[in-house]
Amino acid sequence: MGQPVASKGRGATPTVGKAMLNKYARAFFTRVLTPFAAFLIRRGVSPDTVTLLGTAGVVAGALVFYPRGEFFWGTVVITLFVFSDLVDGNMARQLGRSSRWGAFLDSTLDRVADGAIFGGLALWYAGSGDDNVLCAVAIFCLASGQVVSYTKARGEAIGLPVAVNGLVERAERLVISLVAAGFAGLHKFGVPGIQYLLPIALWIVAVGSLVTLVQRVVTVRREAAEADEAAQESQGTEAAK
């Protein structure tokens, strides 16, 4: 985990668990999970290990169950493992550690989890789901989600604030997709018509992600122009002295 730093620590980026739980539920589960987090610390388990295992569980749930059309049980497994997002942050706080490495690992593995979820859905529609259009939509959701995250990271890397709240960011993408997938899985238990929730959700996520991408690109273009103009004015002022 490294030494404590003043930068944003583990859990600063919205994660699957944080997306699925509102602030009141998070506070409740934080209290519930604190003894478990303390137990893991006593056993010598690191927050990084919990992060890795949680991501592995999400990936397994998505790639084992979703391609077979087992949306309900796949979502159940994913939901169980998303609590690792709360546990690892709780452990880091108890240990007094807030590291750049922890934040980097969380963000990187978030992308892996996202890819597995939408990849699993794409595999279903490419196979037994037999719907090439929805397969393409799921792939678009996967790709656009990665690009949306990249635009913010890249903008911040070149010194821009990227001050925009997109229409459908990571939290919304995951909540919409996972809730719809879980309910769609109830079709196998005899609930009629509910399977159509998932295609609707994928289209919503796809369109929302496209809008969000455009919002971020426009924002970065504006902020970059303002920053360049300010730099030119500063250079002109210095030259006039």
Say whether 99 counts as a known binding-site residue: yes
Tell me the Ramachandran region of residue 190: left when phi exceeds 0, alpha when psi lies from -120 to 50, beta otherwise.
Answer: left
Say whether 144 counts as a known binding-site residue: no
Q: Residue 110 catalytic?
A: yes
CA angle 116/104/224 to nearest 5° reads: 100
Say whether 228 counts as a known binding-site residue: no
Say whether 131 counts as a known binding-site residue: no
Cα–Cα distance for residue pair 144/62, rounded to 1 Å:
18
Cα–Cα distance for residue pair 165/55, rounded to 1 Å:
26
Cα–Cα distance for residue pair 172/166, rounded to 1 Å:
10
Q: Are 167 and 215 in contact (CB under 8 A)?
A: yes
Q: Are 32 and 63 in contact (CB under 8 A)?
A: no
Say whether 128 counts as a known binding-site residue: no
* 75: nearest Cα among 186, 207, 193: 186
Q: Which is catalytic among the residues 110, 114, 131, 228?
A: 110
* 185: nearest Cα among 41, 77, 101: 77
Say whether 107 counts as a known binding-site residue: no
* 51: nearest Cα among 119, 108, 100: 108
Say whether 13 counts as a known binding-site residue: no
Say whether 88 counts as a known binding-site residue: yes
Say whether 151 counts as a known binding-site residue: no
The alpha-carbon radius of gyration of the chain (Å, integer) is 20
Q: Point out the annotated binding site for Mg(2+).
A: 85, 88, 106, 110
Q: What residues form the annotated binding site? A: 48-51, 85, 88-89, 93, 99, 106, 110
Looking at the annotation, which residues are catalytic? Answer: 110
Residues marked as binding for a CDP-1,2-diacyl-sn-glycerol?
A: 48-51, 89, 93, 99
